[in-house]
Amino acid sequence: MWSILIVFSINMLFASTDKLVTEILLYQSDSVFRHTYLYDQQKRVLLDTRSFRNGSEWTNTEQTEWIYFENKPEIQIDRKWKGNEWVDNYIIKQKREGNVLVEEHFSGAATAENLIKTTTKLFENNLLKSLTRRQIVNGNPVLVDSVMYDYVSAKLLTETHYNYKPGGALSAYMFDYKYNEVGNPVSMQEKVYVNDTLWKTISESEWFYKPGTTLVSSERFRKCDTVSGVWENSCMQRYRYDANGNLNEEIYFYWNSMVWENDLRYVYKYDEQDQLFAKHLSVPVYKEWRNTINIRYLSTANPNVQEIESVYGFWGGNEGDPVISRIPYHFNGEMRIAYGQKMQITTSEVNDLKVVNKANQPVLNVFPNPSSGVFYYNPAEIEPDSWTVFDMNGRLLKTQHGGSASGVIDLSDQPNGVYLLRAKAGDNLLNIKLIKYE
């Protein structure tokens, strides 16, 4: 359907903010997709709900919920919207004992018959030392692959992957890292297993830095012919920065016979506050750079809303017309990439959860309230034995019996209005008004 990808940036393109992204609208041709995010007071994401515009309404599609214990995510639940309700589609449960972390992956509800694979991670001095994956086949765990990690001064030295095949066959490959005197990576070699005493190098990535800084000035990737042993260049990127360390230009090259050929160029523009307001993509035409796509970062009347547009440049289409491309955007202190022609990003403060506990009675804190449809309570704080939702005419709309790891109460399929949530926790009956609005 639509994708929003996480990528790693050479240099952060956006200033950090205390506000968190609560909604993203992504436009692709005639379709509009929506992500809505919900956080707790520790700024941890609790819910990511995806939907698309269907006429004048929003139709739910997918949802991911994270449940935390002792400040670590212990359960991740991925759901599909089916028959006007959320249905668990994939669940990951984590259990940690000492230095060992075990992940259990379930297809559907978290029951023994739905267990499909496990991942075991071993830590030493807070560094990941090994990772082992097992697939569940006919109820039995079967070793699939494993990874071993070696460090020097807390920096990753080698990362060795072993793949196990039916019949006992084994294949392996390794990543070997080197660093400069200040601890920045300068090379990474990929090697394949030949025998117990020989690993053959097949590729290498190298990083070069702007003198006196940690800013990457160029990257180069080359491959080694496994038969002749001859090295040949493959691709390269160069980066330029302004006096404030902002990335100004990226140029991509590919190796053609004996020379580097231009492939793509990105140019970044900043305002007086060092905020990115434009990104230009150019391609080589007749040995000259031609502007093809411009990405514009626009302010709006609402300081909590930013709009981003992808439009044609002078070359490749009608200048100023919308075009689908990769759009970099700021998401809670990191850079991500979305694929579309326009984005609208809304940020806001973290939910204000003020706990008022009278006469030692349990309190079910439901937030946000009012909400556009999805409400949430923290099941680690209080887990009701059951809850029901009624409309103001007393009609039963939703119910949950028995303990549930999920804190989601979804009224997306109900009209705007006021609803009554009635939750039972032990001998206590809790009543909360829920207000839904768009």
Interval 390-400: pLDDT, tens: 887 778 898 88
Local structure of residue 359 (DSSP, 8 states) = T
Token pair for 125: 């001095």
**227 or 331, which is more confident?**
331
Do 259 and 320 lie in one domain? The reply is yes
Interval 31-37 mean pLDDT: 94
Q: Could you give the 3-state DSSP secondary structure of residue 109? A: coil
pLDDT band for position 404 (50/70/90)?
A: low
pLDDT at 318: 92
Please report the DSSP string for 298-327 in residue order.
EE-SSTTEEEEEEEE-SSSSSTT-B--EEE
Q: Is residue 8 part of a domain?
A: no
The answer to whether the CB of 136 falls within 8 A of the CB of 115 is yes
Do 385 and 328 lie in one domain? The reply is no
pLDDT at 123: 97
Return the bridge partners of 261, or none.
Answer: 254
pLDDT at 7: 35
Percent of the chain with pLDDT over 90: 60
Lowest-confidence region among 308-312, 339-343, 367-371: 367-371
Nearest-angstrom CA–CA distance, 304 and 297: 14
Residue 274 contacts by C-beta under 8 Å, 6 or more apart in sequence?
15, 244, 246
pLDDT greater than 80 at residue 3: no
Q: Is residue 364 part of a domain?
A: no
The answer to whether the CB of 145 falls within 8 A of the CB of 137 is no
Token pair for 403: 């303990």
Q: Could you give the 3-state DSSP secondary structure of residue 112? A: helix
**Cβ atoms within 10 Å, residue 334:** 13
Lowest-confidence region among 38-52, 137-151, 300-314, 327-341: 38-52
Q: What is the mean pLDDT of the chain?
A: 88
b/e for 172-185, b at 16 or more Cβ within 10 A? bbbbbbebeeeeeb
pLDDT band for position 89 (50/70/90)?
A: very high
pLDDT band for position 52 (50/70/90)?
A: very high
Do 340 and 413 lie in one domain? The reply is no
Instruction: For residue 150, give its domain range.
Output: 19-348
pTM: 0.80
**166 or 161, which is more confident?**
161
State the total domains in the chain: 2
pLDDT greater than 50 at residue 37: yes
Q: Is residue 14 part of a domain?
A: no
pLDDT greater than 90 at residue 350: no
pLDDT greater than 60 at residue 236: yes
Do 26 and 157 lie in one domain? The reply is yes
Nearest-angstrom CA–CA distance, 399 and 143: 41
pLDDT at 362: 61
**CATH number, domain at 410?**
2.60.40
The answer to whether the CB of 293 falls within 8 A of the CB of 325 is yes
Do 200 and 318 lie in one domain? The reply is yes
Nearest-5° Cα angle at 203, 179 to 152? 25
The answer to whether the CB of 60 falls within 8 A of the CB of 38 is no
The answer to whether the CB of 36 falls within 8 A of the CB of 26 is no
Distance of CA 362 to the CA centre of its chain: 35
pLDDT greater than 80 at residue 225: yes
pLDDT in tens, 106-115: 999 899 999 9
Interval 30-59 mean pLDDT: 89
Nearest-angstrom CA–CA distance, 290 and 284: 6
Q: Is residue 355 part of a domain?
A: no
Do 235 and 107 lie in one domain? The reply is yes
Lowest-confidence region among 175-179, 310-314, 335-339, 384-388: 384-388
Q: Is residue 6 part of a domain?
A: no
Residue 56 contacts by C-beta under 8 Å, 6 or more apart in sequence?
none
pLDDT band for position 354 (50/70/90)?
A: very low
pLDDT band for position 309 (50/70/90)?
A: very high
Percent of the chain with pLDDT over 70: 91
Question: Among residues 428, 381, 389, which one has the least CA distance to residue 405?
Answer: 381
Do 246 and 383 lie in one domain? The reply is no
pLDDT at 169: 78
pLDDT at 403: 60
Do 97 and 192 lie in one domain? The reply is yes
pLDDT at 9: 33
Interval 296-307 mean pLDDT: 94
Do 324 and 385 lie in one domain? The reply is no
Q: Is residue 1 part of a domain?
A: no
Do 256 and 152 lie in one domain? The reply is yes
Interval 19-43 mean pLDDT: 91
pLDDT at 358: 43
Nearest-angstrom CA–CA distance, 292 and 276: 19
Do 391 and 292 lie in one domain? The reply is no
Return the bridge partners of 390, or none.
Answer: 396, 420
**363 or 279, which is more confident?**
279
The answer to whether the CB of 326 falls within 8 A of the CB of 339 is yes
The answer to whether the CB of 66 falls within 8 A of the CB of 46 is yes
pLDDT band for position 44 (50/70/90)?
A: confident
pLDDT greater than 90 at residue 239: yes
Q: Is residue 114 part of a domain?
A: yes
Do 149 and 266 lie in one domain? The reply is yes
